[in-house]
Amino acid sequence: MKHRRLADSSRMCGRYALYGPKSRYRAAFNAELMDDINDTKIPFRFPLPADVAFWDIRPTTVQPVVLEDGGKRLLAMFRWGLIPFWAKELKGANTPFNARLDTAADKPSFKQAFRQRRCVVPVDAFYEWYAIPGQKAKQRYIIKPPDDASWGLAGLWDVWNGPEGPIPSFTIITTEPNELMATIHDRMPVILKAQNYAAWLDRELIEADQVRALCEPYPTELMQAEPFTPP
């Protein structure tokens, strides 16, 4: 696929897909179900459904993330769109679904989470829209692994204690595009290499430069992009 990029930064990364079932992600990320853990210190509110298959996941929905607590890797359901713990109320609050890798360590909404509340966001594909030169229409592309595996995106999480109880939430980190994504958009989600999951989830790793170093550019040969028409 070769064409000139015409970016629409406001939409990155705002859609992705999960093929399910939840056993797929338990195996891929070696995680236990948070529903089954009684001694976790992380408050949560949303049970993990038997089927987590969705082809068009959008911000503000509740989706599975992988995090670590007490030496255990957990699969839990969090709201997509990070609500900082210090937010006074949810209504009208800024709940970003993306955080830029280059600024997340310094921004008030993300800096504490960047140091100690990182998660891995399971995805089987994500979407991006290519703005066709000279036309108002945009072509949706699906970007996915060539081997039908699951990716783990770099994420941050937080818990907001609202009037009806705690609401756990997350955001997805974005970075500069690799060669493939640069033909579609000027940003891409950080796709973690599997060997970096443990370090990314390590809550004792707090140095910003060391955290950023885990977000290596993802190889273009391990990605494929093709036009996608919603069913």
Tell the CATH superfamily of the 9-227 domain.
Answer: SOS response associated peptidase-like (3.90.1680.10)
Q: Could you tell me the two tokens for 202?
A: 């390590």
Query: Looking at the annotation, which residues are catalytic?
Result: 13, 128
pLDDT digits (tens, 9 = 90+) for 99-122: 999 999 999 999 999 999 999 999
Domain ranges in the chain are: 9-227
Q: Is the pLDDT of residue 153 over 70?
A: yes
> pTM for the complete prediction?
0.90
Q: Is the pLDDT of residue 3 over 50?
A: no
pLDDT digits (tens, 9 = 90+) for 36-75: 655 566 777 677 777 777 889 999 999 999 999 888 899 9
Mean pLDDT of the chain: 88
